[in-house]
Amino acid sequence: MRTPPARVPEMYRIRQTVLTIHGVNPDRAWQRMAGRVFEPHFRHVPIEYDGYEGLKGPIKAVFSLWFAPLFVAGLGLAVLIALQRRWVLALAVLVASVASLALGLWVAYRQRRACLDKVKPKLIAAAAGDPAEPHVVAHSFGTYLIGSALRKFPEVMFERIVLVGSILPRHYNWDKVLADKPMPFTVRNETGKRDLVVKLAGLVKCVARDMGNAGLKGFVSTDGVVHDATTVWDLCKECVGPADTVPVHNVPLEEFGHSTYSLGTGHAANLWLPYLWGYTPREFRSYLRLCRAAAYLRKERRWDELKKVERALYRSVWTWTKRQTLATSVRRYVEEYLRDGRWSALVRRPDQNMREIVEEAIGLVYFAVFDAAMEADKPGERDEEVIRALHPPTAIVRAVELALDVAA
């Protein structure tokens, strides 16, 4: 494998796209907050649609408001007529009322499909020119649109999908959808035990069969396809290794309500971002803690404590190091760069020099990660180039290049 150019000009930088799509709640602040987390690493594209704003939005998603007065009035009139013992007329009015109910449900279904048809071109356009299928984070009614688009449109594809407050049916046919797509994808379905909106969606699933409460109880577990994760930080006990061992995981958020995730950027930074990179949140969090601890101890000149942390960091094994130690992975990067020719003069230097380069590079890794984490937490304007070092392979490549520059 040939090493890529050391520094790619910004105008030529290609970033994978991550889409966010909202629910019927008119507050879109969560998309802006998530975009602030994603944008240094991905090209964030918020997908929007209209027709379901305000308090009437959730009702309109299930039942057309045009037919609500007819149904209620018809039902009341049927009761009044029945009290007068005019049974035939009461039955006729009741049948008309039920017919208006059925018609209202059918019109709402057609409106949902019309909304889906309007969203589809936005999904396709947002992914145009992407180096891979985009990722997507969907909330509430947005999960319905994404799930329906996956099922209906062969050309709609994603790499990683995050569903929050999902109103898809628990028996959504992931087997068929996965089989129909040319490329595999994974799903993180976050379930909240206090999600009242999804509870209500579960109550109407008998009259709206394409909707359900997967955001409350999760998708029905299926061997090899759907598993229940242990915690928000880990995969399930059956899955050990990369985050995509099994394509669909139900992730328990326990006390979360319908929009609790949107209270700040921490949810996106700690849970969604590592998942989109293909790492478990716990693994990424552990890596951040080690790097930040090492950088802090080195800044404070607490050498004895630093040696212990550095030793743990050198020996640490991560998904992005291909299950090798960090020291071994960095050494492989150094050797690859040396073979590439840019720093070929270093090939003739002794192994002691190689060890020094690896040590210098690892020190630069944890300083880069420390600076990136601090920069990401800053309010207002930030240096996105610094923040990109939160991505572990990016931090390693940059550190190796700097270490070789110093050694040369």
By the 10 Å C-beta count (0-12 exposed, 13-18 middle, 19+ buried), 6 is classed as middle
Please tell me whether residues 243 and 288 are part of one structural domain: no
Q: How far is CA 37 from the centre of its chain?
A: 12
Please tell me whether residues 17 and 140 are part of one structural domain: yes
Distance CA 59, CA 105 (A): 11
Please tell me whether residues 208 and 341 are part of one structural domain: no
Please tell me whether residues 206 and 249 are part of one structural domain: yes
Asked if the structure places residue 70 within a domain, the reply is no
Q: Of 254, 278, 302, which residue constitutes the final position of a domain?
A: 278
The pLDDT score that the predictor gives to residue 5 is 46
Asked if the structure places residue 77 within a domain, the reply is no
Please tell me whether residues 259 and 312 are part of one structural domain: no
Residues 6+ apart with CB under 8 A from 53: 24, 26
Nearest-CA neighbor of 42 among 146, 163, 160, 145? 160
199 pLDDT higher than 90: no
- Our CA angle for 98, 104, 109, nearest 5°, is 130
In a 3-state reduction of DSSP, which class is residue 24? coil
What mean pLDDT do residues 383-404 have?
Answer: 92
- Is pLDDT larger for residue 213 or for residue 241? 213
Nearest-CA neighbor of 398 among 335, 330, 332? 330
pLDDT tens digits, residue range 136-178?
999 999 999 999 999 999 999 999 999 998 999 999 999 999 9
Asked if the structure places residue 3 within a domain, the reply is no
Asked if the structure places residue 372 within a domain, the reply is yes
pLDDT tens digits, residue range 98-123?
777 778 788 888 988 999 999 999 99
Q: How far is CA 159 from the centre of its chain?
A: 10
Strands (E), 334-397: none
255 pLDDT higher than 50: yes
The pLDDT score that the predictor gives to residue 81 is 73
If you compute the radius of gyration of the chain from its CA atoms, what whole number of angstroms results? 27
Distance CA 275, CA 273 (A): 5
Distance CA 318, CA 312 (A): 12
- Our CA angle for 270, 272, 274, nearest 5°, is 70
Please tell me whether residues 170 and 250 are part of one structural domain: yes
Pairing verdict, β 226-228 and 160-164: unpaired
Structure tokens at 224: 């090899």
Where residue 177 sits, what CATH number does that domain have?
A: 3.40.50.1820
Distance CA 389, CA 391 (A): 5
- Is pLDDT larger for residue 294 or for residue 199? 294
312 pLDDT higher than 50: yes
The pLDDT score that the predictor gives to residue 10 is 45
The secondary structure of 375-389 as a DSSP string is HHT-SS---HHHHGG
The 3-state secondary structure of 40-72 reads CCCEEEEECCCCCCCCCHHHHHHCCCCCHHHHH
Distance CA 357, CA 203 (A): 62
- Is pLDDT larger for residue 362 or for residue 256? 362
Q: Of 278, 297, 328, which residue constitutes the final position of a domain?
A: 278
Distance CA 243, CA 160 (A): 10
List, in sequence order, the alpha helices (H) in 259-302.
Answer: 266-267, 273-277, 281-299
- Is pLDDT larger for residue 63 or for residue 326? 326
13 pLDDT higher than 90: no
47 pLDDT higher than 50: yes
40 pLDDT higher than 50: yes
Asked if the structure places residue 74 within a domain, the reply is no
pLDDT tens digits, residue range 326-367?
999 999 988 888 776 666 655 555 455 788 888 999 999 999
Please tell me whether residues 238 and 288 are part of one structural domain: no
pTM value is 0.88
Among 241-250, 340-349, 379-388, the least confident range: 340-349
- Is pLDDT larger for residue 343 or for residue 376? 376
Structure tokens at 198: 């999804």
Distance CA 249, CA 230 (A): 10
Distance CA 363, CA 395 (A): 11
Please tell me whether residues 54 and 132 are part of one structural domain: yes
The pLDDT score that the predictor gives to residue 295 is 95
The pLDDT score that the predictor gives to residue 28 is 77
User: Percent of the chain beyond pLDDT 90?
Assistant: 50
Tokens 């909304």 correspond to what residue? Answer: 115
Write the DSSP symbol of residue 319: G
- Is pLDDT larger for residue 86 or for residue 266? 266
Please tell me whether residues 298 and 399 are part of one structural domain: yes
The pLDDT score that the predictor gives to residue 9 is 43
CB 190 within 8 A of CB 303: no
Q: Residue 347: which domain range?
A: 284-407
Among 5-19, 145-159, 293-307, the least confident range: 5-19
Please tell me whether residues 263 and 392 are part of one structural domain: no
List, in sequence order, the alpha helices (H) in 127-256.
Answer: 141-152, 174-180, 196-203, 214-217
132 pLDDT higher than 50: yes
- Count of domains forming the chain: 2
Asked if the structure places residue 63 within a domain, the reply is no
Q: Of 278, 294, 322, which residue constitutes the final position of a domain?
A: 278
Please tell me whether residues 309 and 252 are part of one structural domain: no
Please tell me whether residues 147 and 288 are part of one structural domain: no
